[in-house]
Structure 1
Amino acid sequence: MLDWLKNRLGSGFRSDAATTEAYAAHQSGNWKRAAELLQPIASRHPDDAEAQYRLGDALYQLNRAQDALPPLERAVKIRSDDAEYLYKLGNALKDLERADEALDHYRRALRLDPLHSRALNNTGTILEERDELDQALDCYRRAILADGKLLPAHTNLAVLLHKLGRYAEATEVYEALLRLQPDSVRDWCDLGNSYQGMGRYDEAVRCYERALALDPSSADALYRSSIALLNLEKLPEAEAAARRAAEIAPVHPAGWRNLGDTLQAQHRFDDAVSAYQRGLDAHPDTPELLNNIGAAYWSNGSLDQALSCFERAVKAAPQFSDARKNLSTAQSAVGLIDDAIAGYRDILKREPANEHASRLLLSALLYAPGSAASLFEEHLDFARRLGSGKHPVPDWKAGARPGRKLRIGYVSSDLRRHPVGFNLVPLVEHHDRAAFEIYLYSSSRQRDSMTDWFKERTDAWRPIANLSDAAAAQVIVQDEVDILVLLAGRFDENRPLLATYRPAPIQVSMHDPATSGLTEMDYLIADRGLVPRRAREQFTERVACLPTFYVHPPVREAPLHAGPPCARDGRVTFGSFNNPAKINEGVVALWAQVLNAVSGSRLLLKYFNTFVAPGVRSRYSGLFRKHGIDDDRLILVDKPRDARKHHLDRYSQIDIALDTFPFTGSTTTFEALSMGIPVVTLEGDRMVGRWSAAMLRKVGLSRLIARSEVEYVEIARQLASNPDALARLRGELPERLARSPLCAEQARARQLERLYRCMWARWLAQQS
């Protein structure tokens, strides 16, 4: 009988006590004992496939992959038709970073057993490492079909889906995983993270609460919950969760960073810096903490400290793009525009698809001298890198009906007390609601009284700040918007790449002073002052012109000014309240010529709290001294941020406003004219350099538009030499401006609606 069994089981059959004990140890998972017992057996019987396999497996389980390799290879050589042997040899090779050989053995195993779930799962991990993500997903799904209880396959599938931003699919897999192990704190947290990815923060919080019910001391659950609560703007609850997470895991820098973020959201900037510093004390030079400290200092008006922190963060981690972006943005804001451009380009060399850095670069390039042709090429490059033309175009023919009520969607991060907000107010206020519906899509969490005004007057308010472009585009599609207007696309937190998803039949760029570069953007709205018929500047959009583009409600907070300060002081004060990003060295040189041409004159500079910073003051003082202008002729306003009324009141301190170039003023020009102050501008050859000139023509002040630097100086000199004319302008200009097309709010709304109707009629004709 024994001989018969031996013949049936082959050479691998062993009946001695030592073999029985060794196999029993292996079977029970006593890996160390199994390895000790199997070593001599395998040595005595090199052709025994099972002994070789069991020894190799025991050594592998003891994390001795290199030692496991020879017996596993011998086992496979003896029995190449055993899927399990091939799978285990693949595992050893994988651990030894011999991925190609491991993958070959997994595939051989799967040819023998297509439902070998663990081989499918491990094949998926290698394919994922190779960035063959669709094939990896397929392997994980097949593994789950083969063994619905294989936890690693569920986890790998869910994690990869989350990485790919396919959050809805990831949540389904995590929910299946939780049905298998409902007490897994980690899985509840991961499910919450996927809900966060979809912007479903309430559901995310409930997941973290389930995790905390299982483990009240889970720092990760508290940390993640705080982030979700912060997105829900439940700031006290977010702070409490973040504080508890930091207390539980005080050596974890992310916990202190998150606590600082919740404090920043409450404008408690000093407290935020203290929280970040706690993390920095435990982990010096952590770039994320230095970056966030810089952001807190920046928000608090401590510009020099902010720049220093951003520089330290970049030095600690030169590849850390967020810190490099913040440093470049800060450099731009204090007038170091060339440094800012270099920083954005540095990021894009490493990350050509970095959308935020790309938009910031396009913004910064507007402030720098350069040709219209080179600027156009930069925009085309932006479109190529960021996916223009890659998404399918929906079929909109079902909505192609003439004469019906049109639904207009405006997308903006500036639906608040912001220049774009002020320009949009008259349009929203005066749109014909019998013919148009207005949908507003807000891409910013910032809000103020003007935000509330917009929310009350729109047909639908959609917050999209927490949505991806793809998700926001889907919301717009579901809203059945006919004409989508993307406002000031390159600036702030705006979303020009929404257009690449083509969520509306007609897409329009507005309040962006250059082309978007996107083939999906159908129109750019301007006027002939901004884009003359024979302009050299190029646009990917069709330029649609209003009679007058700029519109702003009359400045009702304007204080009454008795007369020009030169009549009181005996000397002329020039001024500019423009962004220092616009005040480049060429502008300083020209303004110095003006000051030198007008004896005893002074120059007042103000922009929020920027000139409070000693570094900024020192830099501009130095630039003017190069051109013979001493500090006593400069008034660099060193007060903190003014309330709007106080800001407008400061115009009473200047006689003549000097405009910047190549990026001219816009809101600052309108405010100066509202205060009765003439603005001298140098008209450029790009849209961004023509805003002030376009406004001046509308109030009958074309004589203040210079075509050369020499003419600019002469216009300023002549104005300064005639105090009586300045006094008359100061009295006349506010009323002249209020009666001009620049303040024709209702007329502008009607003109824009006619333009929308023309766009719609043209689109209908194309459909037919």
Structure 2
Amino acid sequence: MASIGEALGIALDLHQAGRVDEARTLYGRILDADPQQADAHHLLGVLLGQCGDSDGAGASIARAVALNPARSDFHLNLANLRRASAAIDDAGRHYAHALALRPDNPEAAARLGAIRAGQGVEEPALALADSVLDNAQAVSVEALTALGIAIGRFDGREETAAALLDRSAAREPASAAVQAQLGLLRQRQGRLDAAAVHYRAALRQRAEFPAVLNALGALALDAGRLDEATACFTRQAASDPADPEPYRWLGRLHRSRGRSGEAASVLAQAEALAPGDRDTGVALAVTLLTLKRPDEAEAVLAALAGAGPDDPLVLYNLGQARAARKDPDAALAAFRLAVALAPDVGDLLHALGNGLTGIGCARQGARWLERALPLGGERVDWHRSAMLAVLYVPGVDPERRFALHRRLEMVTAAPAPLARPSVTPDPERRLRVGYLTSDLRAFQPIARNTLPLFENRDRAGFEVTVYAHVLEPDGTTQRFRALSDRWRDIAQLDDATVASLIRDDGIDVLVALGIRFDHNRPQVCRYRPAPVQVGFHDAATSGLSEIGYIVTDRVMTPRHGTERFTERPLRLPSFYLAAIPADAPPVGPPPMLRDGVTRFGCFNNPAKISDETLDLWARVMGAVPDSVLVLNYLDAYRSRRCVGRIRDRLAAGGIDPERLRIGPTEIEHPAAHLARYAGIDIALDPFPFCGSTTTFEALAMGVPVVTLPQDTMVSRWSASMLRALGLDELVAGSGDAYVAIAAALAGDPARLSALRAGLRGRLAASPLCDGRRRARQMERLYRAVWRRWCRQQG
């Protein structure tokens, strides 16, 4: 009969030969004969673990440890079982026992080091890692990798982790998991190129490895390797179709490439996979707004707001969608709630300020816009909005207004200077003039005012280059392009690149058109890319010391006025220039002749209609009983709050709100818009931001305009036009005079009829429609400032 020792040897042979059932039976007989046989308990536990019976394995090996606690291998195998069942603390204790019993056991050291690192016990973990590195060949690849991953979590210990993972990779070079971990480690170290090498190595071993595809795609996107990023995220989506993450990344990628349609498609897939995910929904909605699909954007955001009504980001974007959908009141409600929830987020304050300004509450809007400025850092668009809004507010102290305009330069970093423009200071040579603008499109006032200059320019004396940030070019854009010597599309270029382009083109005189409006680019001028820089068609000073001149006229900017400029004013005899629209309807008689009712009107942006303007209009209507006031501007009067403010202010001035007439709330064709002047007897100009295009249109349709200039250039455009037409009597010097002029016109139908009948002809014959004369005047200005610069060169 075999001894216990001999039987144990036979059982172990059967075990190692894979004859599991026979080995298990024999281990059981041995334990029946000797229940205290620790080796039999241990080996049976190992066999049970190999067969998937982790509970039975744990019980058997624990019994072995209890019978013989001095055996290192018993503790090591029990620790492995405990680790596999996530009993980490228990596993750590047994690894520690195994290592104490056998200090040269690198496997136990590696496992214990990984646990200690995971528990944040730094020094013991690092000491164990050092001992493992000295005996790495005796450690399993799995243990080396686990220790490397855990040690890598310690800041500044990545090299130790990398050494462990490198040993693993040397032992198993085809391990995708090890290569992935090395990539992650190098990425944390900031060694992005090395990380990408490891990620690619992992993908060579496992082509569809979602986590690695995601990591490599993100690296490629940030590095500008857009095709590689697209391939990675597309493969990730194919390998794990239920994961929304690659679709989110593809959305970001397509947006960065200007492919909004593709971005919307993949973001919609991500949103379908993770409905209600806030970041995905917001990204999708913003993309839909870019595609001018505000109804769909609002639907996405409204669902998010329903689930999370206190999320300022969702509310902000919901407001943007409602504004794009032409519902300014609902937009304002969303912006107000967002600001109440997050009063220190500049985007929210800025949006609320713009929204209030747009419906005519400019005083409130300007305050919110100025509150946003300290939170926006160098956000040039925020500064431009504040610079514009303050011009709508009556009674602003000139020094405060000037300080606000100077703020843009004061708080934005001065760009690195460009190399000096290589231009020849020859005062009489052909000049290179550059125009920097976003506004050369149909129905844009600046386009209307500058087209005659292009059509009548002196090609022999002046070469013209346009630097165009035109996002949606149209037929008018193409007309300007055809009239230019050179055209540069700059919408996709940053300011420094545009400035370098202007310098390299050898521009002598750079003309910045309307830099506070639309998508214009004032910061380009800060690089001083041209020797002479001129502001043109702006509403006030740019506040930038790099712009040397501003074009105005003698009425808009009288000498010794209170308005301050960083630029030197260049005064034309008159400023405004346009052509009477070819499709303008014929001028008819004053409508008051039909029924005796005087119809005052204003077709200006309601942002210009200040409370003070409404107070004065109430006085005019009080002086002309039974008169009515007709307001019209694109679709702005959809806002019930805007209309309500006007009605309430008129009522406070004693005027029945029923005397207010609001025009259509849809945008009309320009010819239909002009035809509406046939229903107006007298146009009332707002202040302190008066009409410009609207004043010209009224005059072209035979409607006289009564204006009240203030102390700013932007309040004196209409006065400039009227004086150029010899209609000084329509320019009021005070509120009382304004009321008297309007009432006198209303009370003299014969005078009004005669004035109306002759206005279009007078306008057509005036300097306001003489493109050739104005082109020569502007070219003389360009030549004069160029000669001045040449003299300064010594």
Which TM-score band (shorter chain)?
0.7 to 0.9
Partner in structure 2 of residue 64 of structure 1 = 119
Partner in structure 2 of residue 190 of structure 1 = 218
Indicate whether 1:244 and 2:276 are aligned: no
Partner in structure 1 of residue 230 of structure 2 = 208
User: Residue 301 of structure 2 aligns to a residue in which SS?
Assistant: helix
In 2, distance between residues paired with 1:52 and 1:401?
85
- Quote how far apart the aligned CAs of 1:262 are: 4.4
TM alignment of 1:421-460, pairs within 5 A: 421-460=447-486
Match of 2:392 among 335, 355, 367: 367
User: Residue 629 of structure 2 aligns to a residue in which SS?
Assistant: strand
In 1, distance between residues paired with 2:296 and 2:477?
28
Partner in structure 1 of residue 141 of structure 2 = none
In structure 2, the CA distance between the partners of 1:565 and 1:181, relative to structure 1 (3 Å rule), is farther
In 1, distance between residues paired with 2:78 and 2:432?
75
User: 1:507-544: CA deviations, max 9, x gaps?
Assistant: 22211121111121122111222212212222112222
- Quote how far apart the aligned CAs of 1:609 are: 1.5
User: 1:457-482: CA deviations, max 9, x gaps?
Assistant: 33443333344333433443444433
Unaligned runs of 5+ in 1: 1-15, 79-90, 96-101, 120-146, 160-169, 197-202
Partner in structure 2 of residue 501 of structure 1 = 527
- Quote how far apart the aligned CAs of 1:690 are: 1.2
In structure 2, the CA distance between the partners of 1:39 and 1:192, relative to structure 1 (3 Å rule), is closer
User: 1:469-511: CA deviations, max 9, x gaps?
Assistant: 3343344344443332222111222221222222333222211
- Quote how far apart the aligned CAs of 1:58 are: 2.9
- Quote how far apart the aligned CAs of 1:368 are: 0.9
In 2, distance between residues paired with 1:684 and 1:411?
29
In 2, distance between residues paired with 1:40 and 1:333?
75
User: Is the 1:482–1:506 Cα contact (8 Å) retained in structure 2?
Assistant: yes
Indicate whether 1:698 and 2:724 are aligned: yes
Letter in 1 for 2:300: A
User: Is the 2:590–2:681 Cα contact (8 Å) retained in structure 1?
Assistant: yes
User: 1:17-44: CA deviations, max 9, x gaps?
Assistant: 8499979999xx9995883345458889
User: 1:736-755: CA deviations, max 9, x gaps?
Assistant: 11111111112222222222
In structure 2, the CA distance between the partners of 1:382 and 1:268, relative to structure 1 (3 Å rule), is closer
In 1, distance between residues paired with 2:78 and 2:487?
69
**Pairwise CA RMSD:** 4.0
Unaligned runs of 5+ in 2: 1-69, 132-148, 164-178
User: Is the 2:72–2:99 Cα contact (8 Å) retained in structure 1?
Assistant: no
Match of 2:294 among 243, 247, 269: 269
In structure 2, the CA distance between the partners of 1:214 and 1:55, relative to structure 1 (3 Å rule), is closer
Partner in structure 2 of residue 708 of structure 1 = 734
TM alignment of 1:112-151, pairs within 5 A: 151=183
In structure 2, the CA distance between the partners of 1:683 and 1:70, relative to structure 1 (3 Å rule), is same
User: Is the 1:612–1:637 Cα contact (8 Å) retained in structure 2?
Assistant: no
Match of 1:625 among 632, 651, 668: 651
In 2, distance between residues paired with 1:366 and 1:486?
19
User: Residue 526 of structure 2 aligns to a residue in which SS?
Assistant: helix
TM alignment of 1:678-697, pairs within 5 A: 678-697=704-723
User: Is the 2:628–2:659 Cα contact (8 Å) retained in structure 1?
Assistant: yes
In structure 2, the CA distance between the partners of 1:464 and 1:287, relative to structure 1 (3 Å rule), is farther
- Quote how far apart the aligned CAs of 1:332 are: 0.4
User: Is the 1:253–1:282 Cα contact (8 Å) retained in structure 2?
Assistant: no
In 2, distance between residues paired with 1:343 and 1:411?
29
**Percent identical residues:** 34
Match of 1:727 among 742, 753, 758: 753
User: Residue 372 of structure 2 aligns to a residue in which SS?
Assistant: helix
In structure 2, the CA distance between the partners of 1:281 and 1:601, relative to structure 1 (3 Å rule), is closer
In structure 2, the CA distance between the partners of 1:692 and 1:405, relative to structure 1 (3 Å rule), is same
In structure 2, the CA distance between the partners of 1:644 and 1:227, relative to structure 1 (3 Å rule), is farther
User: Is the 2:549–2:567 Cα contact (8 Å) retained in structure 1?
Assistant: yes
Letter in 1 for 2:274: A
In 2, distance between residues paired with 1:461 and 1:514?
27
Partner in structure 2 of residue 301 of structure 1 = 326
In structure 2, the CA distance between the partners of 1:498 and 1:646, relative to structure 1 (3 Å rule), is same
Partner in structure 1 of residue 383 of structure 2 = 358
User: Is the 2:183–2:197 Cα contact (8 Å) retained in structure 1?
Assistant: no
User: 1:156-193: CA deviations, max 9, x gaps?
Assistant: 5879xxxxxxxxxx9x8997787666674335543564
In structure 2, the CA distance between the partners of 1:174 and 1:681, relative to structure 1 (3 Å rule), is farther
Indicate whether 1:645 and 2:645 are aligned: no
Deviates more, 1:561-570 or 1:300-309: 300-309
Deviates more, 1:419-428 or 1:583-592: 419-428
In structure 2, the CA distance between the partners of 1:248 and 1:52, relative to structure 1 (3 Å rule), is closer
Partner in structure 2 of residue 334 of structure 1 = 359
Deviates more, 1:716-725 or 1:215-224: 215-224
TM alignment of 1:296-695, pairs within 5 A: 296-369=321-394, 370-387=396-413, 389-397=414-422, 399-416=424-441, 417-695=443-721
In structure 2, the CA distance between the partners of 1:763 and 1:633, relative to structure 1 (3 Å rule), is same
Letter in 2 for 1:58: A
User: Residue 559 of structure 1 aligns to a residue in which SS?
Assistant: coil
- Quote how far apart the aligned CAs of 1:671 are: 0.9
In 2, distance between residues paired with 1:192 and 1:761?
52
User: Residue 523 of structure 2 aligns to a residue in which SS?
Assistant: helix
Deviates more, 1:310-319 or 1:654-663: 310-319
Larger Rg: 2
Deviates more, 1:401-410 or 1:601-610: 401-410
User: Residue 750 of structure 2 aligns to a residue in which SS?
Assistant: helix
In 2, distance between residues paired with 1:757 and 1:173?
58
User: Is the 1:52–1:74 Cα contact (8 Å) retained in structure 2?
Assistant: no
In structure 2, the CA distance between the partners of 1:404 and 1:71, relative to structure 1 (3 Å rule), is same
User: Is the 2:691–2:718 Cα contact (8 Å) retained in structure 1?
Assistant: yes
In 2, distance between residues paired with 1:93 and 1:668?
71
In 2, distance between residues paired with 1:399 and 1:173?
50
In 2, distance between residues paired with 1:656 and 1:319?
46
User: Is the 1:242–1:258 Cα contact (8 Å) retained in structure 2?
Assistant: yes
Letter in 2 for 1:589: D
- Quote how far apart the aligned CAs of 1:409 are: 2.5
- Quote how far apart the aligned CAs of 1:700 are: 0.7
Deviates more, 1:663-672 or 1:443-452: 443-452
In 2, distance between residues paired with 1:477 and 1:231?
28
Letter in 2 for 1:64: Q
- Quote how far apart the aligned CAs of 1:317 are: 3.5
Q: What's the TM-score, normalizing by structure 2?
A: 0.76
Indicate whether 1:36 and 2:93 are aligned: yes
User: Residue 682 of structure 1 aligns to a residue in which SS?
Assistant: coil
In structure 2, the CA distance between the partners of 1:608 and 1:522, relative to structure 1 (3 Å rule), is same
User: Residue 676 of structure 1 aligns to a residue in which SS?
Assistant: coil
User: 1:587-619: CA deviations, max 9, x gaps?
Assistant: 111111111111221111112122222222222
Partner in structure 2 of residue 736 of structure 1 = 762
In structure 2, the CA distance between the partners of 1:74 and 1:268, relative to structure 1 (3 Å rule), is closer
In 1, distance between residues paired with 2:291 and 2:79?
61
User: 1:564-591: CA deviations, max 9, x gaps?
Assistant: 0111120211111111111111111111
Letter in 2 for 1:275: V
- Quote how far apart the aligned CAs of 1:54 are: 6.8
User: Is the 1:38–1:51 Cα contact (8 Å) retained in structure 2?
Assistant: no
In structure 2, the CA distance between the partners of 1:176 and 1:575, relative to structure 1 (3 Å rule), is farther
User: Residue 761 of structure 1 aligns to a residue in which SS?
Assistant: helix
In structure 2, the CA distance between the partners of 1:245 and 1:717, relative to structure 1 (3 Å rule), is same
In 1, distance between residues paired with 2:195 and 2:583?
56
In 1, distance between residues paired with 2:196 and 2:782?
47
In 1, distance between residues paired with 2:253 and 2:345?
24
Partner in structure 1 of residue 61 of structure 2 = none
Q: What's the TM-score, normalizing by structure 1?
A: 0.78
Deviates more, 1:571-580 or 1:407-416: 407-416
In 2, distance between residues paired with 1:150 and 1:763?
61
User: 1:327-349: CA deviations, max 9, x gaps?
Assistant: 21111010111221221122223
Partner in structure 2 of residue 253 of structure 1 = 278
In 2, distance between residues paired with 1:721 and 1:288?
55
User: Residue 677 of structure 1 aligns to a residue in which SS?
Assistant: coil
